[in-house]
């Protein structure tokens, strides 16, 4: 088997094993939560007979191991169960919410990834000069401030005081693309500020590491300008660590948007998860946790595969 195909197969198998381990942790974490699910559904006035019947109906009397394998088997077939609070199909509800979360993450990535790479290249071009120090200072300051605080500050000044964008990021299928973009402008701005510094600093560090190579000095002696050296020679050879950090931040844009969605009341996966955690809707919490884990592991797997393909020694083995 070709070395690249072998490594890709190993990454796929490892990702599947990690997802199985994550599913076990998610299931175990939900069943050890304090309190009684049946009691929280029926209320404090429920009779013992009603509680026993509901536990039997929900399968809570079965052993935890058999419940886990039953849940995992159904999840692998696309059946995420039924929400306890409203009786709706979880897969259908999650599909709409996940679409909204991916919409928000997509536009945040469209803004943040090119901006971070561009600022990283600019910081390398003017290394140790005022543009480099200004870019590093502003981005590090943005990542040091809690995201909810940035959200509330933007909501107060940009929305309440200036009235440029709505403070509540509510979207629906009847809205046009322009209306949706206006509604999510503030959460996209917050997400961009949160992930910008990490990607920019990694881009800068990776390119500076490559700039110490001998072929970079040769390119400079040939008379190429600083930007040409960086763009043509340094950046392509530093792409692997940059891709890794970009994928990690893309995973955060999907998985770590819970706080932002709650702050801006955005109808996404994070808001859906928080709403049902407060109601102790265990099947919904398990489904959301499994989807978040799959997205995070999947994007990290893509980053590993891209790093493998970007390595000439693996693409052209002797």
What distance in Å separates the CA atoms of residue 109 and residue 221, rounded to the nearest whole number? 37
Q: Which of 100-109, 196-205, 308-317 shows the lowest mean pLDDT across its residues?
A: 308-317
pLDDT at position 216 is 65
Give residues with Cβ within 8 angstroms of 33, minimum separation 6. 280, 282
Of how many residues is the chain composed? Answer: 318
Q: How far, CA to CA in Å, does 229 sit from each of 58, 63, 153, 221, 246? A: 64, 63, 40, 10, 23
What distance in Å separates the CA atoms of residue 278 and residue 273, rounded to the nearest whole number? 9
Please tell me what DSSP assigns to residue 13: H
**What fold, for 96-277?**
MetI-like fold (1.10.3720)
Give residues with Cβ within 8 angstroms of 142, minimum separation 6. 150, 193, 194, 196, 197
What distance in Å separates the CA atoms of residue 187 and residue 177, rounded to the nearest whole number? 16
Q: pLDDT by residue (tens digit) across 5-49?
A: 777 787 788 888 888 888 888 877 777 666 656 656 655 666 666
pLDDT at position 163 is 77
Three-class secondary structure of residue 173 per DSSP: coil
Q: pLDDT by residue (tens digit) across 268-301?
A: 777 777 777 777 777 778 888 888 888 888 887 8
Q: How far, CA to CA in Å, does 37 sit from each of 33, 40, 181, 282, 285? A: 10, 5, 39, 8, 13
Which residue has tokens 């392509």?
A: 236
Q: pLDDT by residue (tens digit) across 74-92?
A: 777 777 777 777 667 777 7
Helix 147-154 × helix 185-210 angle, to 10°: 130
- Bridge-partner residues for 82, per DSSP? 89
What's the half-sphere exposure (Cβ side, CA atoms, 13 Å) at 209? 13
More confident residue, 307 or 61: 307
Indicate the pLDDT class of residue 132, thresholds 50, 70 and 90.
confident
The mean pLDDT value for 41-65 works out to: 64
Please tell me what DSSP assigns to residue 158: I
Return the domain boundaries, the chain: 96-277
What's the half-sphere exposure (Cβ side, CA atoms, 13 Å) at 175? 13
As a whole number, the mean pLDDT across the chain is 75
Whether the predicted pLDDT of 255 surpasses 80: no
Whether the predicted pLDDT of 186 surpasses 80: yes
Locate 121 and state its tokens.
């290249």
pLDDT at position 45 is 64
Distance of CA 128 to the CA centre of its chain: 32
Q: Which of 10-19, 50-59, 139-148, 175-184 shows the lowest mean pLDDT across its residues?
A: 50-59
């Amino acid at each position: 088997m070709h070395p690249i195909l072998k490594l890709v197969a190993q990454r796929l198998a490892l990702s599947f094993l990690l997802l199985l381990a994550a599913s076990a942790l998610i299931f175990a974490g939900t069943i050890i939560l304090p309190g009684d699910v049946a009691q929280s559904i029926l209320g404090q006035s429920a009779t013992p007979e009603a509680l026993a019947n509901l536990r039997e109906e929900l399968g809570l009397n079965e052993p935890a191991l058999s419940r886990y394998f039953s849940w995992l088997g159904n999840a692998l077939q696309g059946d995420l169960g039924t929400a306890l609070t409203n009786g709706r199909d979880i897969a259908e509800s999650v599909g709409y919410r996940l679409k909204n979360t991916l919409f928000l993450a997509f536009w945040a990535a469209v803004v943040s990834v090119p901006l971070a790479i561009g600022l990283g290249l600019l910081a390398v071009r003017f290394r140790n000069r005022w543009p480099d120090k200004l870019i590093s200072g502003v981005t590090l300051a943005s990542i040091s401030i809690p995201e909810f605080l940035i959200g509330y500050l933007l909501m107060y000044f940009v929305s309440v005081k200036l009235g440029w964008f709505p403070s509540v990021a509510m979207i629906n299928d009847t809205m046009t693309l322009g209306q949706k973009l206006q509604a999510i402008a503030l959460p996209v701005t917050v997400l961009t500020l949160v992930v910008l510094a990490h990607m920019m600093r990694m881009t800068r560090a990776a390119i500076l590491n490559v700039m110490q190579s001998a072929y970079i000095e040769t390119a400079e002696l040939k008379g190429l300008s600083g930007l040409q050296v960086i763009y043509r020679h340094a950046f392509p050879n530093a792409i692997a660590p940059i891709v890794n950090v970009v994928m990690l931040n893309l995973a955060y844009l999907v998985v770590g948007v819970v706080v932002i969605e709650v702050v801006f009341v955005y109808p996404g996966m994070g808001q859906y998860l928080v709403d049902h955690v407060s109601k102790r809707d265990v099947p919904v919490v398990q489904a959301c946790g499994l989807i978040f884990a799959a997205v995070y592991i999947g994007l990290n797997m893509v980053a590993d595969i891209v790093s493998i393909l970007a390595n000439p020694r693996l693409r052209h083995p002797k």
